[in-house]
Structure 1
Amino acid sequence: MLGRFKYLVIIPLLFGLSGCSVILQKSNPNDLDKIDNLSSKLEQERKAREELLRAKNELEEQLKREVEEKQIKIEMLNKGLVITFVDEILFDSGKAIIKKNAYTILDRVADVLNNQVRDRNIAIEGHTDNQPIVKSQWKSNWELSTARATSVLHYLTDNKNVDPQRLSAVGYGEYRPVDSNDTTAGRQQNRRVEITVLPETIIKQKKK
């Protein structure tokens, strides 16, 4: 009776093991490639985040006074490392010409862009409040915000040798506020330029 019981136990066990073997053999070979690709992507994202965090720390050190005076904000967001300038630190009201005393600030930012995150794409955004343009060359806040973003782009490329392949500029006018336009303080926060260092690396275009 005992011997018969042993056979009853062994047979299901062998059947179970053979079943596992069949499942493994039927696995799609592409699954391993997918796992490898996912692992590689996660590693790239980890390295990108570490690189952006180092750049953030360096910027906070270089722009300590401006950050303390709330003229500049530096933060890590889902889209990347975002450097936000209150518009008055860079421009006079209704203007898109960078103030001369803002050059040193942009110089320090450019140094980090060129040395800490030299292979990352950079997006420059111009934003305004919802107050209509009065006595200005600009037709609307669209044009003003775009011109300001482009001015910053040209300063970085023309004066600080930031690779133009890394850069893009766009103006959103009044349509992406971060605060209420019903208060003076809120409108001040909405009038801004953002430089975002993106996690993605640049793809170099071959010169013809």
Structure 2
Amino acid sequence: MGRLKFLVAIPLIFALCGCSIILQKRNPKDLDQIDNLSDELKKERQAREELLRAKKELEEQLKKEIEEKKIKLEMAKKGLVITFIAEILFDSGKTVIRDEAHSVLDKVADVINNKLSDRNIAIEGHTDNQPIKHSSWKSNWELSTARATSVLHYLVDNKNANPAMFSAIGYGEYRSVASNDTAAGKQQNRRVEITILPEKIIKKTSGEEVVIPDLDEIK
């Protein structure tokens, strides 16, 4: 019986040794992958912590506008979202930023320039579903895009923000956040959103392709 146990044990020992050798061969690569994943998670956590600190600072500086529901700050999956109702930035049907809005955008620009100057930032324009009537704009798409671009130019041209950080897009009335059946709902839909992404700017070197994050994929 003892001899039988010995004979059974020998193949098992060799099998275990073989597994050990295979694991040893794979371990360096596996460990590298684990280290890389750990580094990525650490960077992502640090990036979101920086956004949270920026959010807190903006909440203090924009306290009055937030209380009046003219501005909303939100930490979303895609990043820090700063939402302005259109009336705080523009006159009806217009794309020129009102003088009264400069101080508000200046505060946002200061935080971006001092704390988040290496981030990708997307500026989105949105409208309600009222058709364009007394305006030179063909549709709400053109109006919303022009408003997003106006905010971009203010931050870049007036506040010297890095132009490589920004993109601007208009969605017209097609990304509503409230019902257009009420005046209050329409007011919420007429808005400009500045989204500061956790991802940093990818600096292009010769022969390399720059990949810009797609907001739709991370919403």
TM-score by length of 1: 0.90
Partner of 1:157: 156
Indicate the larger mover: 54-63 or 176-185: 176-185
What displacement does 1:25 show? 3.5
Asked whether the 8 Å contact 1:124–1:167 carries over to 2, the reply is yes
Residues 134-165 of structure 1: per-residue CA shift (max 9 Å, x gap): 11111100110011001100100111111111
The residue that corresponds to 1:192 in the other structure is 191
2:52 is the counterpart of 1:65:
no
For the 8 Å contact 1:54–1:116, the answer to whether it is kept is no
The count of aligned residue pairs is 206
RMSD: 2.3
Aligned residue for 2:146? 147
User: Which position in structure 1 is the counterpart of 2:115?
Assistant: 116
Corresponding position of 2:167: 168
Distance in 2 between residues matched to 1:9 and 1:21, nearest whole Å? 19
Q: Which residue of 2 aligns with 1:30?
A: 29
3-state SS in 2 of match to 1:174: coil
Q: Show CA shifts across 1:20-77 (max 9, x none).
A: 4133134275333322221121111011101100100011011011111110000000
2 CA distance for matches of 1:47 and 1:126? 29
Report percent identity of matched pairs: 73
**Which consecutive unaligned segments of at least 5 residues does structure 1 have?**
none
Partner of 1:76: 75
> Alpha-carbon deviation of 1:121?
1.1
Evaluate the alpha carbon distance shift between residue 185 and residue 205 of structure 1 in structure 2; reply closer, same or farther with a 3 A threshold: same
Moved more, 157-166 or 9-18: 9-18
Equivalent-residue separation in structure 1 for 2:161 and 2:64 (angstroms): 24
CA distance in 2, matches of 1:187, 1:179: 7
Give the 5 Å matches for 1:124-135. 124-135=123-134
In 2 relative to 1, CA 4–80 (structure 1 residues): closer, same or farther, beyond 3 Å?
A: same
CA distance in 1, matches of 2:111, 2:4: 75
Determine the structure 1 residue equivalent to 2:214.
none
Q: What corresponds to 1:47 in structure 2?
A: 46
Structure 1 segments, 4+ long, off by >4 Å, are: 3-13
